[in-house]
Structure 1
Amino acid sequence: MDKLFNNRGMIWLLLAVNIPGTIYGYIWYGNQLAYTASHYPGWLLPFVPDSPTASLFFTLALIFMLYPPKTVAGVTTRALIEALAVVTSVKYGIWAVSIIVAGGYQGGPVDWQDWMLMISHTGMAVEALLYARYFICRKMIPVALLWTLLNDTVDYSYGVYPWLPATLEDDVLQIQLFTIGLTLISSLAAWLASRDVRLRRQRTER
């Protein structure tokens, strides 16, 4: 399996899927970004498109696999991006599927776009967990955890969380608690799925 996931052709294939998906994700958030720009301070805009930004982090992480940086600053940046990629992709992948299912359970419509989103977001979480073991992100996972908690705080303090199905608009507090809990679980999953770089080197040298 290591040869498969480390294969450059496989990584390019994932990029061919993730790059258009990331672009589409930002387009999907277009209306909310425009609304936020008109009604909120501009500094809140980066906190709006959660899932596309997670996909962007993962896309950058794949590029770092293809072209590993050599400098200390580059390696540190790579580790941070990879940590953010795993934590946020797992978190928002599960979050989006859960929200769509919860909205449908409470009587909201679930159309073909919702099914498409559930499939794509499940893929986000799965690919992040699969590739975590090939990343050098473990030491940066606490930083990614803090960033994601900050994002949660901003989302629910200023009301810029992703727009919810109409059936869930009276459940914001419960969703906030679920979101924060999911951040903690996703960070733990990222930690467990990743490998200690030193141990990896020791096994390679044997």
Structure 2
Amino acid sequence: MKVVAFERNLQGTGASRRLRNTGKTPGIVYGASAEPQLIELDHNALWHALKKEAFHSSILDLEVAGKSQQVLLRDVQYHPFRQLVLHVDFQRVDASRKLHTKVPLHYLNQESNPAVKLSGAVISHVFNEIEVECLPAALPEFIELDLAKIEAGQSLHAKDIPLPNGVSLTAHLEAENPVVVSATIPAGAASDAAAEGEGEKPAA
């Protein structure tokens, strides 16, 4: 995705407030052994871009003063109750160095899962994104996890996620291997099933 920004010379609370009053959002670009660069972006264009999943998880082409650089969105500050973006941070990407970032998880075939359809199981998503490390060129926009065969009472852990080539879990996730998704049968559904089973038994 391409993002167009402009150089910003003034900084401080007052300057940022005046900038926002003109429909602009202040931001900063940092990293990759270069000096931090103050920027400003069109607020409305930024607001709409932030609604797209890919804007948060993909490498972006940020153009400032006619020069393009690859960046990741690292932080967004929102107004507590107004639809207003107060500030954005972008981090430059070095093509030769691995980056650590979160990638969205897309769950597939949950509705057609037999445990859901036949046993009344409820599938709970513990994580909607997963932290990975990889070179910039290998960064996936999202990672898919097929739930077609997860059974009632079963959980899938971080290490069960099929990762694309060149992508690995971060060290702490590899060590902790937390539950990512689980399938449980609610107490009400379990007792209903037991009651049905009792009703089917022939009289003594």
TM-score range, shorter chain: under 0.3
Task: Give the structure-2-normalised TM-score.
Answer: 0.25
Higher strand fraction (1 or 2): 2
Higher helix fraction (1 or 2): 1
Answer with 1 or 2: which has the greater Rg: 2
Task: Give the structure-1-normalised TM-score.
Answer: 0.24
